[in-house]
């Protein structure tokens, strides 16, 4: 098993479901764990510290070390206090698993903008708040492992979840840049796209499928992404014992130029532009421009 002895981890949304399994697994492998959970309903309403405390009690009963925290990830001051609580207790923070989330599902046509904003606030800004709070510590200690929880909805779309999908894909974009910025400090940032049966998904899948998708089956991917030997800038998908990787790729495309009929020529060659043969995973955002300018210079130089 991957060893986390001496490491301190914060897991948000860890009062139940997938977050609870993350916290238990890290503790079993030696990590000291801050179990964070607001204790609210699936839609984010309400709150109670009892859910987090119950997980802490389970970890301690098994011989592990854990403390409970009921901060809302939408409250940056409360998140900063949570991180300070970890430092005051154990002196450092090595691992952050951004798992907290809510659902407010409706079709875009029927969705209230307040529900759109709230889902972004919890999933995206919640992860931003927690990451911002631990970043200076990880930079100073030259070590950090951050796991963002994205989703197949963000990567590929899902009917009735425009708010959730927008938030979840935004976390991939956040990961892409933070992985680059954190590299010199050995801060590795990755994404996990889980398929698991929790209260977040219980209304979305048939019972037989839910039984096959135990949250525990996702945990190995989190452990790898949070480990000392973790990759960085990687999105792992996990569910029912299967593991995959998701990539944002760029096709080879074509050079069309700036003539007045460029739009018509692009339309005619769109199938070539979208042909995935030879596609690449750019190392950073500037690689797109480098590819495009390089092709233009090569074409114009020959004319």
- Kindly name the residue from 25, 164, 189, 190 that is annotated as catalytic: 164
CA distance 303 to 293: 15
Question: Are residues 102 and 122 in contact, defined by beta-carbon separation less than 8 angstroms?
Answer: yes
Q: Which band of pLDDT confidence, cut at 50, 70 and 90, is reported for residue 209?
A: confident
Residue 164 a catalytic site member: yes
- Give this prediction's pTM: 0.93
Residue 41 has pLDDT above 70, yes or no: no
Structure confidence by residue, pLDDT tens digits, 223-275: 999 999 999 999 999 999 999 999 999 999 999 999 999 999 999 999 999 99
* Average pLDDT estimate for 115-142: 98
Residues of the chain with CATH 3.40.50.720: 8-246
What is the CATH superfamily name and number for domain 8-246?
NAD(P)-binding Rossmann-like Domain (3.40.50.720)
Between helix 113-120 and helix 162-182 the angle, nearest 10°, is 30
Q: Is 17 exposed, middle or buried (0-12, 13-18, 19+ CB in 10 A)?
A: buried
């Amino acid at each position: 098993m991957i060893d986390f002895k001496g490491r301190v981890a914060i897991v948000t949304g860890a009062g139940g479901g997938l977050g609870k399994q993350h916290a238990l697994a890290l503790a079993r492998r030696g990590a000291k764990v801050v179990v964070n959970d607001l204790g609210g309903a699936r839609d984010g309403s309400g709150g109670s510290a009892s859910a987090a405390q119950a997980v802490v009690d389970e970890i301690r009963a098994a011989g592990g070390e854990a403390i409970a925290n009921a901060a809302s990830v939408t409250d940056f001051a409360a998140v900063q206090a949570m991180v300070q609580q970890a430092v005051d207790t154990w002196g450092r923070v090595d691992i952050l698993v951004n798992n907290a989330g809510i659902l407010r599902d409706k079709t875009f046509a029927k969705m209230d903008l307040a529900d759109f904003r709230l889902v972004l606030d919890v999933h995206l800004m919640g992860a931003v708040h927690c990451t911002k709070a631990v970043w200076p510590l990880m930079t100073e200690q030259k070590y950090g492992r951050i796991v963002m929880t994205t989703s197949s909805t963000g990567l590929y779309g899902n009917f009735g979840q425009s708010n959730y999908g927008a938030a979840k894909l935004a976390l991939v974009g956040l990961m892409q840049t933070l992985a680059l910025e954190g590299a010199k400090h050995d801060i590795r940032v990755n994404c996990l796209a889980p398929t698991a049966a929790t209260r977040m998904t219980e209304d979305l899948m048939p019972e037989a499928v839910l039984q096959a998708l135990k949250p525990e089956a996702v945990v190995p991917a989190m452990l790898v992404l949070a480990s000392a030997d973790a990759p960085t800038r990687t999105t792992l998908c996990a569910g029912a014992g299967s593991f995959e990787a998701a990539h944002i790729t760029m096709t080879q495309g074509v050079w069309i130029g700036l003539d007045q009929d460029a739009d018509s020529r692009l339309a005619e060659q769109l199938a070539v532009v979208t042909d995935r043969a030879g596609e690449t995973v750019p190392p950073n955002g500037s690689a797109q421009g480098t590819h495009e300018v390089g092709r233009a210079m090569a074409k114009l130089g020959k004319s």
